[in-house]
A and B are shown apart, each in its own frame.
Chain A
Amino acid sequence: QQQVKQSPQSLIVQKGGISIINCAYENTAFDYFPWYQQFPGKGPALLIAIRPDVSEKKEGRFTISFNKSAKQFSLHIMDSQPGDSATYFCAARGGFYGGSQGNLIFGKGTKLSVKP
């Protein structure tokens, strides 16, 4: 119930295309859903995040779509660029209750390659 399942494991997109990464969760108590971008040899960098009371959040070319009833959320990267090539992680926060420490629970990551 504490898992976050992410798909696909890898994704190849042409420059200018739309990259879509999906995540699913089971614990309805999760209260915060961030996406992180990680380049090789670097730590994850917060990209965009959403709360469950919002169905969509857009920041520049990055959009999170959130479906509370389906317990799914996705990251859309519009006009994908070669510089977007990185590993993307979705995550969920368990709040501060029932032994949870507000830590993030991560999906296993999606390696995105954007071809020029």
Chain B
Amino acid sequence: GAGVSQSPSNKVTEKGKDVELRCDPISGHTALYWYRQSLGQGLEFLIYFQGNSAPDKSGLPSDRFSAERTGGSVSTLTIQRTQQEDSAVYLCASSLAVPEQFFGPGTRLTVL
């Protein structure tokens, strides 16, 4: 079946603009995770959804970051007033009530 998909694959934006990143999880997966991967670094956890609910948003790096999930499926990560330090690859993973998390290809965000 189809894996996790993310769009866009690449996004170049100017400092101060808002961006939206989209994640389509594997069908039926109830858990959804967002991670950020900066150059040469490991993956940093941002936020977790179980269904449409995000129990804890403390992983988000600042209040410029927000995320939502609708219909227990698609999720959108929004970054407002982007800064150059937001440049990274944003990865989404989904899971079906088991530890295994399956990652999408990521969105490479470049803030000029």
State the A residues within 8 Å of B (CB): 6, 31-32, 34, 36, 41-46, 49, 89, 91, 93, 99, 101-109
Contacts and interface: CB of A to CB of B under 8 A. Distances in A.
Interface of B: 4, 31, 33, 35, 40-45, 48, 55-56, 58-59, 91, 99-106
B42 A106 contact: yes
B104 A108 contact: no
Contacts of B59: 101, 103
Contacts of A45: 103
Contacts, number: 60
A46 B100 contact: yes
A103 B54 CA distance: 12
A26 B13 CA distance: 39
A101 B100 contact: no
